């Protein structure tokens, strides 16, 4: 490209520069002639500096000054009078009084440039100025320059190809390594290492892929755990249901007391099963974000009171004590059904884990006009510090809970999702051997 542009512009530029030189020289000579300041010396200097032949004729065609710069190769000094007359005529006929052309000098096999201009008045000229130069230096230097530039071009091209090849190989190496690791990742090995060293971009790519692999691994473990937990939790009540159904069929069918007992177990286990399935469905709906809240304004104090009515049987039959501390009234904005789920889960957990004293405290504490904190406290065994961070994760159950208490391990993650959906803060404080307090904040949204 560079070579083509160079070759294409060289001749044109050179000729344009020559034309300018002619104009300047002609202007200088004509001015000098009109004010009489010109000398033979200045003319000669001008001819030397601009490398041109000069011929000045008077109006009759007599030579006034002549200087042959090109050692006999000058066109104006080697042509006949008729030709010079013709050039003069051309200058007279041209609109600006200048005749400018390229003429080949066949005798010397060169191209010359001719510049003819009128001295004095155009209609009544005092004389004519002929300037003439050869394009020979241009032609020979053009050949040299073009070859030179072509050589440089070829050299640069080879260099460019070489550098590109080396660069391509350098980038290719880490990319090939990353592709190989990605293939391993694709085949299911999430512990694969990505090596992208060599380039900043490939290093970032490798780090990003490694991060993605770790995230996929996490999701994969979670999925495995989920399937294992769900199938385990489904199998336990199913086994019980089957066993008791068989017992009713084979043994207790005719004994109404035993039969009722066994059928009750079947009903209880079926309830557990449907609770589990409902919890799983709830959680997946909440986590997928497809659940929309139906916000209403209601009195949480009154609501908790109604709710506590349902625990009456539990306290009468099993000796649980529910100690409630609430203001007269506190209006909040929430989804009443979802808030019920939260309260049920937390109170049920408190009941399940409260231990010997069988005491559960429920508090509603106003924090400001529109904000209150709800606390559900038990006096059970408490939760170990290291378990506190993970307690709201789905399927997380502390070691002890796994064996002792019936539960799905989904309750607290449902609480978490519902609180997140409402934008309410929530948390837990616990001391081992003393008890736990699960809390959340509720708010009344005032129109703004
Ligand atoms: P679960 O159905 O097992 O109760 P949750 O998600 O409700 O599932 O609770 C997760 C785990 O948190 C429980 O298995 C238990 O180990 C622990 N936990 C929850 N509430 C309490 C509490 N009040 N006291 C002690 N441990 C609790």
Provide the residue ranges of all domains of the chain, joining segments of one domain with +: 2-134, 214-287, 292-443
pLDDT at 403: 44
| Topology given in CATH for the domain delimited by 2-134 | Beta-Lactamase (3.30.450)
CA separation for the pair 81, 61 (Å, rounded)? 8
Euclidean distance between CA atoms 441 and 428, whole angstroms: 12
**Residue of 195, 18, 197, 205 lying closest to 112 (CA atoms):** 18
Nearest residue (by CA) to ligand 1, atom 11, is 397
Ligand 1 pocket mutation, candidates 230, 348, 355, 409, criterion most atoms within 8 A of CB:
409
Segment (H or E) for 101: strand 98-105
396: CA distance to ligand 1 center in Å?
A: 8
Nearest CA to ligand 1 atom 2: 407
Residue 238 Cα, ligand 1 centroid: separation in angstroms? Answer: 23
Angle between helices 336-353 and 411-422 (to 10 degrees): 150
Please identify, by atom number, the ligand 1 atom nearest to the C-alpha of residue 345.
Answer: 7
**By alpha-carbon position, which residue is closest to atom 20 of ligand 1?**
349
- Collapsed DSSP state (helix, strand, coil) of residue 316: helix
d(CA 254, ligand 1 centre) in Å:
41
Phi, psi for 108 (deg, rounded to 5): -110, 5
359-366 and 321-325 strand pairing: parallel
Residue in the block written with tokens 């070489």: 162
Q: Quick count: other Cβ atoms within 10 Å of Cβ 44? A: 14
The CATH number that domain 214-287 falls under is 1.10.287.130
Name every protein residue with a CB atom under 6 angstroms from any ligand 1 atom: 345, 349-350, 353, 378, 380, 383, 391, 396-398, 401, 407-413, 436
Residue partners of 271: CB distance under 8 A and separation at least 6: none
Please indicate whether the domains covering 2-134 and 292-443 agree at the CATH topology level: no
The continuous run of DSSP H or E covering 324 comes out as: strand 321-325
Cα-to-centroid distance, 56 and ligand 1 (Å): 116
Asked if residue 126 lies in contact with residue 72, where contact means CB atoms within 8 angstroms, the answer is no
Q: What is the pLDDT along the chain (448 residues), one digit of tens a residue?
A: 777 787 778 778 888 888 888 888 888 888 888 888 888 888 888 888 888 899 999 888 888 888 887 777 788 887 888 888 899 999 999 888 889 888 887 777 788 888 999 988 888 888 999 998 887 666 677 778 878 888 888 999 999 999 999 988 888 889 999 999 999 998 988 888 999 888 888 999 999 999 999 888 878 887 787 777 777 778 878 888 999 899 889 888 788 888 898 899 899 889 888 888 888 888 778 877 777 888 999 999 999 999 888 888 777 778 888 999 999 999 999 999 889 889 999 998 898 888 788 899 999 999 998 899 999 999 988 888 888 888 887 666 655 554 455 566 788 988 998 999 999 999 999 999 899 999 999 998 876 5
Q: Which ligand 1 atom sits closest to the C-alpha of 391?
A: 12
Angle at 264 between CA 261 and CA 267, to 5 degrees: 160
CA of 296 to the centre of ligand 1 (A): 29
**For residue 138, which of 223, 16, 222 has the smallest C-alpha distance?**
16
Helices (H) and strands (E) in the chain, counts: 12, 12
Answer yes or no: pTM beyond 0.85: no
Ligand 1, atom 23, lies closest to the CA of 350
What is the DSSP track for 372-440?
EEEEEEE-SS---HHHHTTTTSTT---HHHHHHS---S-HHHHHHHHHHHHT--EEEEEETTTEEEEEE
- Residues 325, 361 contacting (CB under 8 angstroms): yes
292-443: CATH topology is Heat Shock Protein 90 (3.30.565)
Q: Whose CA is nearest to atom 7 of ligand 1?
A: 411
Distance 209 CA to ligand 1 centre (A): 36
**Number of alpha carbons in the 13 Å side-chain half-sphere of residue 240:** 17
Task: Report CA(380)–ligand 1 centroid distance (Å).
Answer: 11
Nearest residue (CA) to ligand 1, atom 16: 398
Instruction: Spell out a b/e string for 126-139, using b for 16 or more CB atoms within 10 Å of the CB, else e.
Output: ebbbbbbbbbbebe
Which residue minimizes the CA distance to atom 3 of ligand 1?
409
- Mutation test of ligand 1: which of 398, 412, 438 has the most ligand atoms closer than 8 Å to its C-beta? 412
397 CA → ligand 1 middle, Å: 6
CA distance 178 to 332: 55
Cα torsion through 28, 29, 30, 31, rounded to 10 = 50
Nearest to 354 by CA among 378, 390, 322: 378
The secondary structure of 154-202 as a DSSP string is: HHHHHHHHHHHHHHHHHHHHHHHHHHHHHHHHHTT-TT-----TTSHHH
Burial 340-369 (b: 16+ CB within 10 A, else e): bbbbbbbbbbbbbbbeeebbbbbbbeeeee
């Amino acid at each position: 490209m560079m070579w083509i542009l160079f070759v294409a512009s060289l001749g044109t530029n050179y000729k344009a520069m020559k034309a300018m030189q002619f104009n300047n020289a002609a202007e200088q000579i004509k001015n000098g002639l009109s004010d009489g300041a010109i000398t033979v010396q200045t003319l000669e200097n001008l001819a030397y500096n601009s490398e041109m032949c000069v011929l000045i004729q008077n109006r009759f065609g007599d030579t006034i000054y002549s200087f042959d710069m090109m050692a006999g190769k000058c066109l104006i000094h080697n042509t006949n009078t008729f030709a010079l007359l013709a050039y003069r005529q051309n200058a007279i006929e041209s609109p600006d009084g200048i005749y400018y052309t390229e003429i080949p000098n066949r005798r010397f096999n060169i191209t010359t440039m001719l510049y003819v201009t009128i001295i004095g008045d155009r209609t009544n000229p005092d004389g004519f100025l002929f300037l003439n130069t050869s394009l020979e230096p241009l032609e020979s230097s053009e050949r040299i320059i073009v070859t030179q530039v072509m050589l440089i071009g070829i050299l640069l091209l080879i260099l460019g190809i070489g550098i590109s090849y080396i660069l391509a190989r350098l980038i290719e190496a880490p990319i090939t390594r990353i592709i190989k690791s990605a293939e391993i990742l694709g085949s299911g090995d999430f512990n694969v290492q990505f090596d992208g060293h060599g380039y900043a971009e490939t290093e970032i790519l490798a780090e990003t892929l490694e991060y993605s692999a770790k995230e996929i691994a996490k999701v994969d473990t979670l999925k495995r755990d989920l399937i294992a937990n769900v199938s385990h939790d489904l199998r336990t009540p199913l086994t019980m249901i089957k066993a008791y159904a068989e017992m009713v069929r084979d043994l207790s069918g005719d004994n109404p007391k035993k039969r009722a007992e066994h059928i009750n177990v079947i009903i209880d286990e079926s309830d557990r099963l449907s609770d589990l399935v409902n919890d799983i469905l709830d959680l997946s709906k909440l986590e997928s974000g497809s659940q929309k809240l139906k916000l209403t304004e209601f009195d949480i104090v009154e609501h908790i009171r109604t709710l506590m009515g349902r625990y009456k049987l539990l306290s009468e039959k099993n000796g649980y004590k529910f100690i409630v501390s609430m203001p007269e009234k506190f209006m909040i904005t929430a989804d009443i059904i979802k808030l019920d789920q939260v309260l049920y889960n937390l109170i049920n957990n408190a009941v399940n884990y409260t231990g010997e004293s069988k005491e559960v405290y429920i508090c509603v504490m106003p924090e400001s006009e529109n904000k209150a904190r709800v606390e559900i406290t038990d006096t059970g065994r408490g939760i170990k510090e290291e378990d506190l961070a993970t307690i709201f994760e789905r399927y997380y159950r502390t070691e002890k809970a796994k064996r002792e208490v019936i539960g799905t391990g989904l309750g607290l993650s449902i609480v978490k999702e519902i609180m997140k959906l409402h934008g309410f803060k929530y948390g837990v404080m616990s001391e081992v051997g003393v008890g736990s307090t699960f809390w959340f904040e509720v708010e009344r949204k005032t129109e703004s």
